[in-house]
Structure formats: structure tokens, C-alpha cells
């Protein structure tokens, strides 16, 4: 079976009923989709299939032959974050990080579908995603900011080797 994952063609050999989640994590070594409940209930494994947010734990890989899959790794890079990624960073929208990839991809699909900063609409769009740190307020702040065009895209936030961090950390030693 052949999948396009984050723009690259990948040949996969997992058994046909293997959920996409395990193909990504165990065969292809792509670990942003998290194995949470593995029954469609937590949202942590969410990926984009042809641009549509779906649960990787529910999709038998045989049903996806030829499909175009995007995981968090395909949205942006540390040097060039996607608008939603940048907004999550700027709004402190991650705590332990387990739900973050699913949240970011669902928010990305929401914005691609014309989503607005309206908070009830955002809550509705992210309703299937569980954050066990209960950091929902910051997450919704981040999506609202991204939807309102407030987050800077392509923001570089990781310092290159030998370079000073572009992020000021209060209280950090100079």
C-alpha cells in the first residue's frame, strides 16, 4: 500500500486492518499522533486525511491506499510554524503536550474550513479533543487568535546553535 505522508510517498507493509495510527507511529516512526484511548474518544491521534480531520486510530490502513495524510510534522517546522502552531506557542496553549498535535490539526482544519474566532464555534470544532491538563481556555484563546489573524505565521522561535534565543524568558539568567 502506498500513502502520501506529509508530502512524501511512503510504501507501507503493515497488515491491512492495522489502524493508521500504528502505521504512522510504529512503521513510519511519525510520533506526533498519540495513542490515547484508541477507540476514537480522545482526539490525540487526529490527522488530516485529504485535508479532513480524522482519527488515525479508527482508520484501517487498507482503506487509505493512495490517501494524502498530514500529521503535525507536515504542518510546519520549528523554523516556520504554521499560524495555528505559532498561536499555540504565543498563547501558552500547551501543557503536557499529549493532546496538542490533535488539537492543532483540528484547529488547522477548522480554520481551513473558514472557521471564525467565535468561541462557541471553536469549542464545537474541538469538542472531540480531551486535554487532561484541562488547559482548554488557553487552547481556545490560541485558536481564536489564529482565526482572528493575530498570530504571526512563519515565526522562528528556536535559536540556531550559538544564537541567542529570540524568546525572552522572564527571570532567566542573562
Partner 1 sequence: MAGATLALDQATEVLQPGSEDEAIAAFGDGSGITVLAGGTIVVPEISYGYRSPERVLMLTRAGLAGISRDGSRTTIGATTTVAELVDLPAPLGPCAANVADVEIRSVGTVGGNLCAGEGQGAPRGDLQGALLALGASVRSAGEGGTTDEPLDEFMANRRERLILSVSFDEPAAGAFAALDRPHTHDYTALAVSGVRAQDGTIRLAATGAGTWGVRLPSAEAKSADPEAAGLAALDDVELHDDALASAWYRAKVLPVLIRRVLAELEEGA
Identified binder of partner 1 from the candidate list 16, 78, 148, 159, rule CB under 8 A: 16
CA gap 7, 22 in Å, rounded: 19
Identified binder of partner 1 from the candidate list 17, 169, 172, 174, rule CB under 8 A: 17
Identified binder of partner 1 from the candidate list 119, 128, 133, 153, rule CB under 8 A: 128
Query: Which one of the spans 56-64, 75-83, 84-92, 138-146 is the region binding partner 1 (CB under 8 A)?
Result: 56-64
Identified binder of partner 1 from the candidate list 5, 44, 59, 93, rule CB under 8 A: 59
Q: Is 21 left (phi over 0), alpha (psi -120 to 50) or beta?
A: alpha
Residues 59 and 45 sit within 8 Å (Cβ to Cβ): no
Identified binder of partner 1 from the candidate list 13, 39, 120, 169, rule CB under 8 A: 39
Query: Which one of the spans 32-40, 135-143, 147-155, 158-166 is the region binding partner 1 (CB under 8 A)?
Result: 32-40
**Residue 114 lies near partner 1 (rule: CB under 8 A):** no
**Residue 106 lies near partner 1 (rule: CB under 8 A):** yes
Determine the 3-state secondary structure of 110 from DSSP: helix
DSSP 27: I
**Residue 40 lies near partner 1 (rule: CB under 8 A):** yes
DSSP 124: H
**Residue 19 lies near partner 1 (rule: CB under 8 A):** yes
Cell of 22: 500504528
CA gap 169, 111 in Å, rounded: 30
**Residue 86 lies near partner 1 (rule: CB under 8 A):** no
Q: What are phi and psi of 80, to 5 degrees?
A: -140, 85
Residues 56 and 111 sit within 8 Å (Cβ to Cβ): no
- Interacting residue ranges for partner 1, rule: CB under 8 A: 14-19, 22, 26, 35, 38-41, 43, 46, 52-55, 57-60, 62-63, 106, 109, 124-125, 127-128
Amino acid at each position: 500500500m502506498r500513502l502520501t505522508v506529509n508530502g512524501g510517498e511512503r510504501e507501507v507493509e503493515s497488515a491491512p486492518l492495522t489502524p493508521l495510527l500504528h502505521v504512522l507511529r510504529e512503521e513510519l516512526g511519525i510520533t506526533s499522533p498519540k495513542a490515547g484511548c484508541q477507540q476514537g474518544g480522545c482526539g490525540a491521534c487526529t490527522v488530516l486525511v485529504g485535508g479532513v480531520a480524522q482519527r488515525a486510530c479508527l482508520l484501517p490502513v487498507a482503506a487509505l491506499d493512495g490517501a494524502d495524510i498530514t500529521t503535525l510534522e507536515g504542518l510546519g517546522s520549528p523554523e516556520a510554524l504554521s499560524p495555528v502552531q505559532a498561536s499555540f506557542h504565543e498563547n501558552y496553549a500547551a501543557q503536557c503536550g499529549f493532546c496538542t498535535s490533535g488539537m492543532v490539526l483540528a484547529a488547522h482544519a477548522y480554520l481551513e474550513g473558514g472557521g471564525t474566532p467565535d468561541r462557541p464555534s471553536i469549542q464545537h470544532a474541538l469538542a472531540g479533543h480531551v486535554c487532561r491538563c484541562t488547559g482548554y481556555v488557553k487552547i481556545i484563546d490560541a485558536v481564536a487568535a489564529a482565526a482572528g489573524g493575530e498570530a504571526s505565521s512563519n515565526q522562528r522561535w528556536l535559536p540556531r546553535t550559538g544564537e541567542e534565543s529570540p524568546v525572552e524568558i522572564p527571570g532567566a539568567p542573562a
